[in-house]
Structures are given as structure tokens and as C-alpha cells.
Amino acid sequence: MASVRFTVTPTKAEDLPGLSDTSPDISSRSGARVRFGSKESVNRSDPLSEASGGATPGGGTETPDHSSLEQGDGNSKISSVYINNTHGVDDDDFYDRNLALFEEEMDTRPKVSSLLSRLANYTNLTQGAKEHEEAEIIGEKKKASKSPQMGTFMGVYLPCLQNIFGVILFLRLTWVVGTAGVLQGLCIVFICCCCTMLTAISMSAIATNGVVPAGGAYFMISRSLGPEFGGAVGLCFYLGTTFAGALYILGAIEILLMYMAPKAAIFESKEPEGEGAAMLNNMRVYGSICLLLMSLLVFVGVRYVNKLASIFLACVIVSIISIYIGALVSAFKPPNFPVCLLGNRTISGHEVDDDHCAKTILLPNAEPTESADSNFTFINENSTVGPTFDPSATPALVDKTTSIWEHFCSGPELNASCDKYFISNNFSEIEGIPGLASGIISENLWSSYLSKGDVVEKVSLAASSDATPASTHHPYVFADITTSFTLLVGIFFPSVTGIMAGSNRSGDLKDAQRSIPIGTIFAILTTSIVYLSNVVLFGACIDGVVLRDKFGDSVKGNLVVGTLAWPSPWVIVIGSFFSTCGAGLQSLTGAPRLLQAIAKDNIIPFLRVFGHGKANGEPTWALLLTALIAELGILIASLDLVAPILTMFFLMCYLFVNLACALQTLLRTPNWRPRFSYYHWSLSFLGMTICLALMFISSWYYAIVAMVIAGMIYKYIEYHGAEKEWGDGIRGLSLSAARYALLRLEEGPPHTKNWRPQVLVLLKLDEDAHVKSPRLLTFASQLKAGKGLTIVGTVVSGNYLQSYGEALAAEQTLKILMDKERVKGFCQCIVAQKPREGISHMIQSSGLGGMKPNTVVMGWPHAWRQSEDPQAWKTFINTVRVTTAAHLALLVPKNISLFPSNNEPCTEGYIDVWWIVHDGGMLMLLPFLLRQHKVWRKCGMRIFTVAQMEDNSIQMKKDLATFLYHLRIEAEVEVVEMHDSDISAYTYERTLMMEQRSQMLRQMRLSKSDRERERVRWSFDDAQLVKDRNSMLRLTSIGSDDDEDTDGGERDRPASGGGSSEHHRRVQMTWTKEKTSQYRATHSGCSTPEGFRDMLSIRPDHSNVRRMHTAIKLNEVIVNKSHDARLVLLNMPGPPKNPEGDENYMEFLEVLTEGLERVLLVRGGGSEVITIYS
């Protein structure tokens, strides 16, 4: 019988016996793992309780085995006994033996299986509620929501139809066709529909490139073009949606007051000139009331709006169908809508009483007794010959003037004085709806644009040549605005907007990536066909004078499109009223949510308050702002003036949707993988071009205003908004442009004309990670004036693995300082064992391609004389050598703490340039650049140069003045003559003191190193001490940052040519008291009076004396001439080739700049940086 071993391994700390108070029974825990060991077979169906019950310690029949079966939560896993499984984990996160190599990373990097399970259970979040990425990271457990089930037809197609069909179709399309003509009307509709179709293609590509949470256009644009563009266009889209609500409300009120209840008007005007103003006031009052009621309905609950949406959509569809049926019926039985004309001028139907379209009518003479025939009336249109009747049967007939007569004549009498046009032209009556088979389309093909105040005329009718200008007192139909092709485009375009309705509902769709493209494109195709066919039908069925009659005055105030409808105009009137009310409710519902989404994204700080709402998430504050903005549109009160504003905002939104798609396509970012494949960057660019053209075609001044608003929002977000990284296309465009520019810069060295200082600023941090000399960065900002490349670098001593946190802290400190000083650039922090190596690496590796620094700015090592540690000034000199080797310019401001800050402008003074040797023109260019900044702007410039005895100083001054003239630099010029003179005793003494000091410090460092070495050696046993050579060398380098900095290391180094094998060589030394005393005697250095006496007897080196002489003489001249200068620029001498003279070099620089308050030492990079040529 096979032996079976049962072991139970707890998977959590609290599962261990004695550690858990709540569940002491290990076998009852789901996290416990039971192991069965068997040589032959195992019954896997054994329950867990039996397994745990059989786990008795010390069973004699139980033997260890080489395989075990792990069972947990019903899943079996085979594991080897050679693997230590004491660190158990939950079954959900079980580390498979195939993933054992990655166990260390499982805490921060989830397994693929768990990642896929989270993605599979992903549900769309409402836009603006939370970013889905952030929600996953935070790990908030949300309640299981009902999965969206809406398909393409109900979720995208019908909402798009409802949003696209709107007030313009019913109130303005007939007027657009009559004014522009059928051909230009088709052109207007086609251009607008092309714009929305191309935008829909671009939108489909973006919407299918990953999951788009509910929110549509704003989410797509902001995530594709970045927070700046997203915020700007999002607000424009919000304003467009808000003004759309105002447009729909104005349309509903116009239908109510014009066609449904004209008697409801509050304001009325007795004079014809005041009728328009009275109507606008009526629109304002009723529009404000309607807006208030709609806002209250939206505030009470959106569910009521959604329930009414289907009813409103049914009204739209029924209205459109009635138009088509009416057009077909008109081919056989045209509706009776007569239009009265005087000559070729249209008469308002409101003034034609009892359908008497005539000057006079024949009425029976008034008799005391009325006969049965006295009610008959005979119209005598031309006032010439009337019909004859039997006098015995009828009373005598007389001419009576009609009600129209009184509008053209001074009185109702036949002999009253009348208008000339009225006298010379007769009345006629035509059919307003001739019908589909009448051929009227031939007259309506061409445009008939009118100016404000023009009479609507029928061009095909002849009229008297002595026509006088029409007066507003006459009952004509007048044009209320001046029309043009561009105006009609702006008025019509809102009727094709609403294509975003499907993408706005992406959170409710079962398969958004399939439904949005299909539903949106088919909705645009449907509406485009309806609009284009309606243009043709209107032109073919309705007379031109009726089409151009915007408010239907010629047909007794009927809605023009309603005259064509079947069976009654009221179908269109009622249907259009309810459809416009529904569209207004939809706008007032969607706009606040869009604003709330923008506010919750926190990209525009002052909008944060609008991100809050009721407990259920309803945007209360956003609804209030939306109602206020919509009220502004209602106060405009004119549909024709609000429509272009709406057009601008929607066109701008569509423009950026096309731009986003084109950019993503051209940049070919790895994440750009749309499921919708029928797109191309050229189509997106064409759509963008059409949008831009339509903006300026419809209203160029509105276009400029909209762009200014968007630009201001963009700049506001850029400077004050919260920084977001959404992986947007503008970021990708910047990367592509930067790559292209860098590759272009690599083609050759920059021309002298294009040279500007690309600065690497080396800053030093103290122990608390604070910048020691922040004025260095201030000076760099004054030098740059915001142009060119600036890299701010520092070196952190240590090992990169241990000092990574310090490096990040140092980098953050530099960024904060750069923001404070308003320096635009980059910061770089290098971790190195030795500062000089770190600086060398930074100088070598900073920059990229052609954007490498060409100038290094570093501080002067303060108090280097008083410091026993030579590290500071040795690092300084090493940096000078490295920059020289790299052919970089070097700027060293001395006394940097005395340099002015950006808030301390110099009101007067000079910047003095001491041009001693030619350095490529750096000394000329730097003052010019400094004077571009406000701090140095008022300073003059003086240039001094030094002439020797053999030079002609007068000619030098002329040549220098000419040179500066060609350089276009204004400066005073002076040539200083330096006569040959003997070396003074002061110079000799100063040199001697310098060399004695150097020798003394060297001896002191050596003696200190010896004492340290002996102290360590004597701490061990006297018998024998074996020391590693590397340890000895490390001890001897105390007080320096290099093994080669002290002579002790060199002295103890064995002479060997072993090369790299020297590191592995061990030195064995046996120390006794005699050897110790002998070593002290030979290495005492300056520790005895004799050592000091030998040091005092040295003679100064002749080359050092000459250098000191030059430094002293130059310093005397500079101090004499420039003691009152605001800044002195001076050529910086190069370091000595022999490193032993480094300390003397520092002394020479100190002597050269003594007595000067602010000094800038300049060392050119070896290339010309300034030219006289253009």
C-alpha cells in the first residue's frame, strides 16, 4: 500500500497557529494549501477536511516523497519537493514555477492573467467622474453595474437623427433655397454635409482607437491633442451646445408666436417700423420663460427628458414624412395658397381682406331695402369695364375701393392721390404652391439675394418701368436682413451639427467601436439625402416669392414649409414645435455634463466649482451657468444672429477633431490602431480645411472672436492649469519635430551668425541639498533672455545605486530654482564617486545631437586659500581643462553674490570689456546679450584693449572703432598703453610668498597623511602587519579627492611595470621600533625647524615671477579704469600645462581680479561667435 503524507501550509501570517484570533482551525481557512505526497497514486477527490484530519505528526508509515500534489480551491498544481514552499501565497496570486524568476516583481507588476481579467471586466465610466486609468490604480471597488445593451440603431443612429434634424430645416431651409436658388442651395448643403461626413470619419477613427468613456468630442480631443487644446476646444464645444439650446428655444418661440398663437404677443407696434423690435421683445420674454421652465425640468430629473426624447423624435420623423407626401400630392392636386402681387411685388397676405387682391371691387349701390342679390360682389381688378347685368334683376353696381387701396392712396376715394407704382401696375394672383409638375424649378434655379428693406419680387413678371422705391408703409413683403452666400452658410450649418450624439453615448453602447462609426455615418448619409432632396423639392413645388418670404407673410402667415405638408400645415407646425423643444432640452441636458467633465478633469482651475453637483451627480452649478449663458443667446432674440455664433463653435470643434486624427495618422504613434480602417490623413486635412474655410466664409469676425477665445483659454491652461500627461498627439508632434530638427542640426556645424550661448550651468549643493550660489542661475537667465538651450547640472557624490534618492531630490531642487528664476531649460544630476569625474562626464554627455552646450558657467571657489582641502580649487582647475579640451566657452563670475538679481535693474553705469587676447568675439557678444535684459539695459558699454610699446595705439583705436561699427555694437573705445618696466620688489616678494605658501601647505598635507598612516599602523600588533596596498593608498589620499593628489601615495608606490597587475600586488612589511623611528626621521617634512628653514631658503621660479608681474600690472590698470564699472569682463588665462603649478594659477587669477567688485572671467571655445557680415 502506498504511503501518503499530508502537510498543511498556511499562506498568510494570520493563518499560523497562535497568530490568528479569529480562526484557529487551519484547515478551515481558504488560504491554506494541502500537500499530498505519494509514490504511486493519490485520490484527488479527498475532501480538504479529511486531508487536514489525517495530518498527524509522527506517523510511522508516512515517508517523505519527491512529488506532492497541491490542492487549493479546487485547483491542482504539481510541485517538486526540492522547492522550498514555506512562503505560501494566495491561490489567486499563486506564483507558478514557470514564473519563479519574477517573484520579486509580482508586487508591482501584475501577472498577465490578473491584468487580462481586470481588462475583461472593464466597464465604461461616466466622463469626468474619474479617469479609468486612475480608478484602476487606486483600486476602488465599484458596484456591479448593468452592462450596456444599446445597439447601433437605438444608441447611435436615432440620437444622431434627432440632434441633426432641427429648427433650421423647418424655419429657414425654404428661405435658403429661395434666396440662394436650387443650385447654390445644393452647394451650401453639400459643403456642410461634406464637412460633417469627413469629421465623422475622423471621429470614428479616434473613437475606435481604444475605449472612449462617455463624453465624446471633449474626451477625444483632449486625449488626442492634450489638455491645452482639449480645454480650449472643450469649452468652445460647451459654448456651442449652450447656444444651440438658445437657438432651439428661439425657434420654438418663433413657431409659437408666428404660426400657432399670434395673439399671444405681449408687445405690439402700430407703426410698421416698430414691428420688428416688438417681435424681438416678445421673443426675449417668452424665450426667458421657456428657458426657465426647461431648466427646472432638467434640474428635477433627466429621466423625464430621456423619456420624452422618443416622442420628440417621432414628431420630427412624422413632419419630414409629411413634407415628402405633400410634395408628391402637389403633383396631382396642388394646395390652394394664393399669393397677391402688385406688378411683380409681393403683397402681404395679412392686408388682403376677404381675398380681394384688387384695387376696386363692384358692389351694389346702397338701397333702403336689401334684395336677395345684394350680397353679390364683383371684383374689378383693373378699374376699367365691369361685367353687365340685367338692371331689372340687380341693383345698380358701383366701384368701391378695397382695403389695399388705402395703403397706397391718401384716402378711400377713387379720385385720391396714389403711389405712382400703384397707379401704373395692376394686381395679379398666383399660386404659392404650383406643385411638383408645374416646372417652377426653372425659375428657382438661380439666386436672388436681397438687401435689407428690399421688396420680395417675382422676376419673371413684367412691371412698370417708373417704379418708385417701396415704403415700409406699403403692405409689401420686405427682406429683413441683407443676404449673401456666406451668410446663408452660417445660418444653415447648425442644421448639420449633432453628429457627436452617438459618441456622447458611448458608455451605453454594447459595442461602441462598431456602433459609433456605422450609426454616425449612416445618420449623416440619411440627413444629407433628406436635406438635398428637400432643396430640390422646395425649388420644384413652391414659388420663388413664397420661398424668399421668410415668415410666410405672403401666404397669410403660414409656415412656408407647412404649406407643402400633407394633410395640413399644422402637422409641420406642431411637429416642429415639439422637436425644437426636445432639442433644446437635450442641449440643456448635455451642456452642463460637458462642463462638469471639463471641471472634474481639473485642467482649468477657476471651473472647479462646476464639477460639484447634487448627491446623485447631477451638475447643479453647471446647469445654472448654462442657463445664464443661454439667456444671453435668448436676449439676442434673432435666430439669424445666434446661428452664426453656434456655427463658429461647432466648426472649431470639428476642425480639431480632424486635426487630431490627421496628427495621429501622420505621426504613426504605436498606440494609434483604430478598428475603423476607412480613414486617411488627407481626408482629415480636407475636413480641417473645409471647417476653417466655412468659419471665415460664414462670418470672418465671429471666426476671429472664436479663435481669440480659444487661444486665451489655451494660454490660460498652459500657464495656470493643472499639468496632465494624456499621451496626446501634440506631445508626439513635438517629439517628431524635435527629432527632425535635431537631425537637421547634425548636418553641419552652426554658422557664426546662428551662434548663441547654449549654456551648461554647474551648481553646487550643500549637505542639505540647497544650492550654494543661486545667483549663478540668475546670471544665466539674464544672459539668455529666454533664448537658446539651458542645462542646469549638479554632481552628487556617491554610488548611483545608493544615492538614487539623493539624485532625485537634487533634481527637484534644481527644478524649483529654475521655476523661481523663470529659466526655461533642463536639469541634469549625475552621481559619481568624485565630483571632478562627475563634472567631466556631464560636460561630455550633456545635450543631444546639435543641441549640445557650447558654454559652461561655473562659480569661483570661495576661500580657497583658507581651505586645507585642495579639492575645491583642484576641481575648478580640472573643469577649466576639460572645457578647454572640449572646445567649449567658459564663464566664471567672481563675487557672484554681489551680482544684481532680476528685480534690481542697474539704472546707470558701464559694462567694461578688457579685450586682451582674441577669443572668437565672446567678449563682444556677451555685453550685447546682457543688455537685452532689463537688468543691464541702461548700462553703457566700454571696450579697453592693451597696447604694447611696439603697437600704434592711435591706429589700434581707429581699427577697433571701425570693427565695432561693422559689428553694429555701440561702445566707447579706449586703448591702454602698458610700458615695459622692471619687475618690482613687490612682485618678487609676492611671488616668493606664493611659492612658500604652496610648499608649506604641501608639507602640512604630507605630515598629516603620515600621522594618519602611523596611527593606523600602531593600532595593530607590533610583531607583524600585512596591509593591502590599495588600503594604504586610500589612507594617504586623506585631504584630497584623488589618489595622485598627495606625494605620499607616489612615494610608497613600488616601482613596477606590471600595469593593471599592480592592483593585485600585496606589500608585506614588518614593523619594528627602529624602523619606525627611522621612517619618522626621513618623512618628517616640515615638522622640524630645519624643514621650515629649508623652505624659507627657496628662490622663486623666474616664470612665476613674470606671470605675477603681468597680473599685478594688468590689475593696476583695470582697477584704475574700471573701479566704478557695474561689471568687468576679462579674458581668463589658461591653466598651466604642468599640474604642479595649479595652486600658483589660482593665485595669479586672484591677483588679476583684486579690488574689482563684479568680474566675469571669459574663456572662448576656439571658434568665432560674432561676424560683421549679414
pLDDT by residue (tens digit) across 844-859? Answer: 888 887 788 889 999 8
Quickly state the pLDDT bin for 1100 (edges 50, 70, 90): low
- Asked if 212 contacts 698 with a C-beta cutoff of 8 angstroms, the reply is no
**Which residue has 549643493 as its cell numbers?**
765
Evaluate if residue 204 carries a pLDDT over 70: yes
Cβ atoms within 10 Å, residue 734: 12
Q: What is the pLDDT of residue 1014?
A: 53
Average pLDDT of span 385-404 = 61
CA gap 728, 233 in Å, rounded: 14
Evaluate if residue 497 carries a pLDDT over 50: yes
DSSP 3-state assignment of 678? coil
Q: What is the pLDDT of residue 722?
A: 58
CA gap 910, 974 in Å, rounded: 14
pTM across the whole model:
0.65
Looking at per-residue pLDDT, the higher value among 488 and 609 belongs to 488
Quickly state the pLDDT bin for 1134 (edges 50, 70, 90): confident
Quickly state the pLDDT bin for 710 (edges 50, 70, 90): confident
Close Cβ partners of 806 (under 8 Å, ≥ 6 residues apart): 769, 796, 798, 831
Q: What is the pLDDT of residue 1043?
A: 39
Evaluate if residue 422 carries a pLDDT over 70: yes
Q: What is the pLDDT of residue 39?
A: 40
Average pLDDT of span 118-137 = 42
CA gap 966, 910 in Å, rounded: 21
Cis peptide upstream of residue 1139 (ω within 30 degrees of 0): no
Q: What is the pLDDT of residue 185?
A: 94
Of all residues in the chain, the percent with pLDDT exceeding 90 is 14
Angle between helices 302-330 and 512-541 (to 10 degrees): 40
Close Cβ partners of 848 (under 8 Å, ≥ 6 residues apart): 742
- pLDDT (tens digit, 9 = 90+) per residue, 1021-1063? 443 433 443 333 333 333 334 434 433 333 333 333 444 344 4
Q: What is the pLDDT of residue 134?
A: 45
CA gap 1148, 1112 in Å, rounded: 9
Quickly state the pLDDT bin for 394 (edges 50, 70, 90): low
- In whole numbers, what is the pLDDT of the chain averaged over residues? 75
Looking at per-residue pLDDT, the higher value among 912 and 920 belongs to 912
Quickly state the pLDDT bin for 466 (edges 50, 70, 90): low
Angle between helices 922-930 and 775-784 (to 10 degrees): 90
DSSP 3-state assignment of 1127? strand
Q: What is the pLDDT of residue 625?
A: 92
- pLDDT (tens digit, 9 = 90+) per residue, 740-750? 777 877 766 67
Ranges 412-416, 530-534, 577-581, 856-860, most confident: 530-534
DSSP 3-state assignment of 912? strand
- pLDDT (tens digit, 9 = 90+) per residue, 655-706? 988 988 898 888 877 778 888 889 999 999 999 999 999 999 888 888 998 8
- Asked if 253 contacts 685 with a C-beta cutoff of 8 angstroms, the reply is no
Quickly state the pLDDT bin for 289 (edges 50, 70, 90): very high
Residue spans of alpha helices (H) in 301-453: 302-330, 405-408, 420-424, 441-444
Close Cβ partners of 1015 (under 8 Å, ≥ 6 residues apart): none
Average pLDDT of span 1147-1158 = 83
Average pLDDT of span 871-895 = 86
Q: What is the pLDDT of residue 1038?
A: 33
Close Cβ partners of 659 (under 8 Å, ≥ 6 residues apart): 225, 684, 688
Quickly state the pLDDT bin for 88 (edges 50, 70, 90): very low
Looking at per-residue pLDDT, the higher value among 422 and 324 belongs to 324
- pLDDT (tens digit, 9 = 90+) per residue, 969-1023? 888 888 887 766 656 666 666 776 776 677 666 666 666 556 556 555 544 444 3
> What are the backbone dihedrals phi and psi of residue 831, each rounded to the nearest 5 degrees, phi first?
-100, 125
- Asked if 565 contacts 572 with a C-beta cutoff of 8 angstroms, the reply is yes
- Asked if 359 contacts 404 with a C-beta cutoff of 8 angstroms, the reply is yes
Quickly state the pLDDT bin for 730 (edges 50, 70, 90): low
Cβ atoms within 10 Å, residue 683: 20
Amino acid type, 891: L
- pLDDT (tens digit, 9 = 90+) per residue, 356-389? 788 888 777 654 444 444 444 444 444 433 444 4
Evaluate if residue 42 carries a pLDDT over 60: no
Of all residues in the chain, the percent with pLDDT exceeding 70 is 69
8 DSSP 8-state letter: E
Q: What is the pLDDT of residue 412?
A: 81
CA gap 1171, 182 in Å, rounded: 66
Average pLDDT of span 275-290 = 90
- pLDDT (tens digit, 9 = 90+) per residue, 499-546? 887 776 666 678 878 888 999 999 999 999 999 999 999 999 999 899
Cβ atoms within 10 Å, residue 1108: 25
- Asked if 881 contacts 875 with a C-beta cutoff of 8 angstroms, the reply is no
752 φψ region: left (φ > 0), alpha (ψ -120 to 50), beta (else):
alpha
Evaluate if residue 58 carries a pLDDT over 60: no
409 DSSP 8-state letter: B
- pLDDT (tens digit, 9 = 90+) per residue, 804-841? 888 898 988 888 888 888 888 899 999 998 888 999 99
Evaluate if residue 182 carries a pLDDT over 70: yes
Q: What is the pLDDT of residue 13?
A: 41
- Asked if 684 contacts 661 with a C-beta cutoff of 8 angstroms, the reply is yes
Ranges 529-533, 601-605, 930-934, most confident: 529-533
As a 3-state breakdown, the chain gives helix, strand, coil percent values, each rounded to 5, of: 55, 10, 35
Average pLDDT of span 568-585 = 88
Evaluate if residue 1102 carries a pLDDT over 60: yes
Average pLDDT of span 756-761 = 86
CA nearest neighbour of 944 among 705, 1121, 1125: 1121
